[in-house]
Amino acid sequence: MPKIVVVGAVAGGATVASQIRYLDKDSSITVFDQDETMSFAACGMPYYLGGHIENEQDLIATTPEKFKDEKNIIVNMNHRVMRIDREKKIVEVKDLLSNKTFEDAYDVLILSPGGTPIVPKTDGLESAKVFTLRNFEDMRNIHSFIEAESPKSCVIVGAGFIGLEMAENLVELGMKVTLVEKSPQVMNILDVDSSDIVEKELHEHGVKVYKENFITHVDGRNITLDQCEKLEADFILMSVGVSPSTELASEAGLTIGDTRGIVTNEFMQTNDSAIYALGDAAENKDFITGQPKRVPLAWPAHRQAYIVANHIAGQEIPFKGMLGTSIAKVFDLSVGMTGLGERNLNESDLYFKTITQKSKSNAGYYPDHGDLFLKIHYDAENRKVLGAQVVGEKGVDKRIDVIATAIYAGLTIDDLQALELAYAPPYSSPKDPVNMASYRAK
Ligand code: FAD
């Protein structure tokens, strides 16, 4: 009966513990997490703050009590794992409420510690009201501040997924929102033309965007940008990304890779076969290029949990890598992407072509239709689909998922014309935009 210890009790940690129990009724499973709240839906937090979800408890999937009663899994919240002794196979744990430290032995250790929000060093930042949004307590802090102070304005630093989702939700609460982004475009992982559509949407909803810019000085409500622009805001939301939590792993001598994540093999084992890593902190590989890749999103954490649990149970299901498929809502637009974008492709040695398709999401005569911008990159030699971006008002999820599946299956751009995709006027056209792009690809 193996003794399993898991670090982290949210997306990856809680899922892997539960999957292990599903496959093995006997093993002893103990989970430690330094925070207060387990298994919360981080992805739902912007929508709770925007008032779309009324009760914060709806974001919590389960509790330590339920895990104990229903799955016989011990979850210790407010417990930080401080150190791993790989030789003795023990972890040193600190109970953050009592400040007491103790040791716990493992046969198998699973690390799913996620990441910590990056807060760039900024002159005078302590004089302002500054938030990050990573865990449940962060969300509560922002919510309490909004309730108590009724802020009218916010500067969001970072125009990635979370920054844009928060921009939308804060605008819907009636706030004036300004985005400050260091790179030359919003949603830096998009191709420029896709990003331009997103930026236009932000402008149309009153969000001011300062690109190639960052905050140099803060004095209370007064914020100075690099290019000397002066802004005022009741609070600042720092949303410039997360840094993978790898201190425990690196201090224990586990290999940290090019993406700053814990290096893992096809079964998510680290260089110590008794220790697995998954989720935001784990580095694996790109599905297409095989290059090191780390995708800090929910799908990898959940998928990798399945791989780890099965491997521990004796089933070898190799992880084949990540495409980074993702989607976000930005006001009336949805923005989806999968596989390699132009920047990755230009950096790779792949010779690629691109087809761009502007269509309606569904039958133009049907009252509820929208514009769709679809862009597919494919290998110029073997014609395999390498990546896609879809931006539009409707039907983005359907197209991006079809193309993600096509990449996984190794389909070529020419195969896409033959896909028999569901059609009725509210959903598509007899020739779906994915078929159309393929007809036109040279
Ligand atoms: P986490 O879920 O972050 O869990 C790690 C846990 O480990 C934390 O509770 C941490 O405190 C704990 N921990 C760390 N170190 C220790 C230690 N030494 N001892 C004990 N405990 C420790 N993804 C999507 O795919 N789609 C979305 O729409 C989406 N929206 C998001 C919106 C927001 C606001 C945020 C913050 C994230 C969003 N994500 C989204 C990302 C997704 O939530 C993460 O990718 C996922 O939670 C990662 O899972 P994880 O287990 O690696 O880390």
Point out the domain boundary residue: 240, 259, 281: 240
The pLDDT-based confidence of 146 (bands split at 50, 70, 90) is very high
Does 360 reside within a domain?
Answer: yes
pLDDT at 1 over 90: no
- Alpha carbons within 13 angstroms on the beta-carbon side of residue 407 total 28
Domain that holds residue 38: 3-48+56-116+243-312
Task: Give CA angle at 387 (381, 389), nearest 5°.
Answer: 135
Q: Do 243 and 116 meet the contact criterion of CB atoms below 8 Å apart?
A: yes
Q: Could you report the per-residue pLDDT of 40-69, keeping only the tens digit for each?
A: 999 999 999 999 999 999 999 999 999 999
Q: Do 153 and 234 meet the contact criterion of CB atoms below 8 Å apart?
A: yes
Is the same domain home to 123 and 236? yes
Point out the domain boundary residue: 211, 240, 269: 240
Does 106 reside within a domain?
Answer: yes
Does 324 reside within a domain?
Answer: no
Does 319 reside within a domain?
Answer: no
pLDDT at 89 over 80: yes
If you take atom 29 of ligand 1, which residue's CA is the nearest one? 43
Between the CA of 33 and the centroid of ligand 1 the distance, in Å, is 11
Is the same domain home to 235 and 374? no
Tell me the CATH number at 412: 3.30.390.30
388 vs 403: CA distance, rounded Å: 7
Q: Which atom of ligand 1 is nearest to the CA of 46?
A: 34
Is the same domain home to 187 and 288? no
Write down the pTM of the prediction: 0.96
Is the same domain home to 261 and 306? yes
Residues 6+ apart with CB under 8 A from 346: none
Tokens of 108: 């198998």
Is the same domain home to 351 and 400? yes
Between the CA of 39 and the centroid of ligand 1 the distance, in Å, is 9
Is the same domain home to 142 and 185? yes
How many domains does the structure of the chain reveal?
3
Verify whether ligand 1 is closer than 6 Å to residue 411 (CB atom).
no
Q: What is the mean pLDDT of residues 195-220?
A: 97
Does 247 reside within a domain?
Answer: yes
Q: Could you report the per-residue pLDDT of 274-312, keeping only the tens digit for each?
A: 999 999 999 999 999 999 999 999 999 999 999 999 999
Closest CA to 76 of 87, 65, 91, 60: 65
pLDDT at 227 (0 to 100): 80
Point out the domain boundary residue: 279, 312, 345: 312
pLDDT at 82 over 80: yes
Between the CA of 271 and the centroid of ligand 1 the distance, in Å, is 23
Does 318 reside within a domain?
Answer: no
Does 213 reside within a domain?
Answer: yes
Verify whether ligand 1 is closer than 6 Å to residue 8 (CB atom).
yes
Does 39 reside within a domain?
Answer: yes
User: Tokens 């040791």, residue?
Assistant: 103
Which residues carry out catalysis? Answer: 43
Task: Tell me the average pLDDT of the chain.
Answer: 97
**Residue 94 backbone dihedrals phi, psi, to 5 degrees:** -110, 125
Burial 289-319 (b: 16+ CB within 10 A, else e): beeebbbbbbebbbbbbbbbbbbbeeeeeeb
Neighbours of 363 (CB within 10 A): 17
